[in-house]
Amino acid sequence: MAPVSREKRNVAILVTSQTLFIIAMVTVMTLSGVVGQQLSPTPGLATLPIAIMMLGTVISTLPASLYMKRVGRRRGFITGATLGGVGGGLVSFAGIATGSFWLFCAGNLLLGLYQGFAMYYRFAAVDVASPGFRSRAISFVLAGGMVAAFLGPWNASAARDLIAGVPSGGPYLVIALLALVAIGLLSRLRVPASGEPKPGDASRPMSTIARQPSFGVAVLAGAVGYAVMTLVMTATPLAMRAQGFEMGQVAFIMQWHVLGMFAPSFITGSLIARFGVDRILLMGAALLAGSAVVAATGLSIVHFWISLVLLGIGWNFLFVSGSALLSSVHFEVERGKVQGINDLIIFSLVALGALMAGQLLHRLGWEALNLAMLPLALLVTLATLWFRLSADPQPAGSSSTTSER
């Protein structure tokens, strides 16, 4: 197969696998709280399954990266889809069928493991793409979430009665089925094994890598963008309901937010290639700040809509740019630990943001909560400006090995 055709096929596999994975995650975010409320011994534990899913992502992120460094991307992704996607969907279904809250939580924990592996689809896009196509490949993979913005909520509602006698169990069986489809696709993925250690390869200490200005900016952009987005997104339905909005209106706002998160991915890579990663990082921080200001100026449906769309686009710019920048700071042999540390930091802050959202909304109110995000946007802005003035080295070299796994 010609290199260009192989490149496109590999990226297409990753885009489709990303779509199937995001459908699972949107289903969990839409439905697991409702199921948790039905199964939990006390109402206060209703959202525990979602929190446990995020915990599963946090504890599996770094091990997943190191595991894939040893066995390759393809086997790692298949492992994650098998144990996390198929296993998590089936165990969650079993928890609903038996009325076991803790078994259902265990299933959501496995689904968090699925996410821990699948978050590396975007980095695999770097591995399979030529240098000039890498930032666009990351964008295309993330764009798979745009389709999932429609199919995830649809699965959560349309498949609820799929299995008679197990209300709400059907969507989790669909998750398992879609994970099986992903496994079939991923078995055809061909990733160059350039990251495998070979005689003479030397991995620098993590402290040396972390001293590069580009590393700090990449991690900061991804962590701030994702944590702020998660915190505000989690608080939005509560804030809207407190203002008397109907659930249909809440769903409308959330759908536009998810579209804002993923639709720009079709052009973000091209924008990075044309204007530079630093300018897109600055634009992402500006959009986060704009979202906060709009939210603080009114409580109408239009204010919520504009604010959440800006929030989604700002997350996209920061996350895609941060991912592209991170790929420039390490040699191939170092990618496992660098990418693992990056996502461990990001999802630790994401989990913290999700846990803090309710308390911050209760204590500060919607307007003040959003204004509290402004210093974080300013932090990313200042770090990016510092990065522009620094003498950071260009991307680390990569091996020329062409064998595949």
108-161 pLDDT tens trace: 999 999 999 998 887 787 777 776 676 677 767 767 777 777 787 777 777 878
Residue 201 lies in a domain: no
Task: Tell me, yes or no, whether 55 and 181 share the same domain.
Answer: yes
Cβ atoms of residues 201 and 380 within 8 Å: no
* Residue entry with tokens 């975010």: 29
Residue 60 lies in a domain: yes
Task: Tell me, yes or no, whether 162 and 266 share the same domain.
Answer: no
CA–CA dist 148, 15 (Å, integer) = 11
The pTM (predicted TM-score) of the whole model is 0.72
Task: Tell me, yes or no, whether 369 and 273 share the same domain.
Answer: yes
Task: Tell me, yes or no, whether 214 and 150 share the same domain.
Answer: no
**Residue 154 vs residues 114, 160, 334, 398: alpha-carbon distances, Å:** 21, 10, 40, 42
Residue 402 lies in a domain: no
CA–CA dist 310, 256 (Å, integer) = 10
Task: Tell me, yes or no, whether 2 and 144 share the same domain.
Answer: yes
Q: Residue 222's domain spans which residues? A: 207-390
pLDDT computed for residue 65 by the predictor: 82
Q: How many domains does the chain contain in total?
A: 2
Task: Tell me, yes or no, whether 79 and 175 share the same domain.
Answer: yes
Would you state the structure tokens that stand for residue 357, as one six-digit string? 């959202």
Cβ atoms of residues 351 and 51 within 8 Å: yes
Among 193, 227, 245, which residue terminates a domain?
A: 193
Residue spans of the chain under pLDDT 50: 195-200, 393-405
Task: Tell me, yes or no, whether 188 and 218 share the same domain.
Answer: no
Task: Tell me, yes or no, whether 281 and 368 share the same domain.
Answer: yes
Task: Tell me, yes or no, whether 261 and 184 share the same domain.
Answer: no
Amino acid at residue number 243:
Q
Task: Tell me, yes or no, whether 75 and 211 share the same domain.
Answer: no
Contacts of 177 (CB under 8 A, 6+ apart): 89
Task: Tell me, yes or no, whether 44 and 163 share the same domain.
Answer: yes
Among 193, 223, 256, which residue terminates a domain?
A: 193
pLDDT computed for residue 405 by the predictor: 44
Task: Tell me, yes or no, whether 322 and 275 share the same domain.
Answer: yes
Cβ atoms of residues 228 and 288 within 8 Å: yes
CA–CA dist 160, 31 (Å, integer) = 9
Residue 246 lies in a domain: yes
Residue 31 lies in a domain: yes
pLDDT computed for residue 404 by the predictor: 45
What is the domain-level CATH number for residue 100?
Answer: 1.20.1250.20
Q: Considering all CA atoms of the chain, what is the largest pairwise distance in Å, rounded to the nearest integer?
A: 65
Among 169, 193, 217, which residue terminates a domain?
A: 193
Residue 237 lies in a domain: yes
**Residue 272 vs residues 10, 139, 201, 276: alpha-carbon distances, Å:** 22, 10, 31, 5
pLDDT computed for residue 242 by the predictor: 79
Residue 398 lies in a domain: no
Contacts of 337 (CB under 8 A, 6+ apart): 62, 65, 66, 69, 203, 206
pLDDT, one tens digit per residue, over 4-58 is 677 778 888 988 999 999 899 888 877 777 788 789 887 667 667 877 888 898 8
Residue 403 lies in a domain: no
pLDDT computed for residue 104 by the predictor: 96
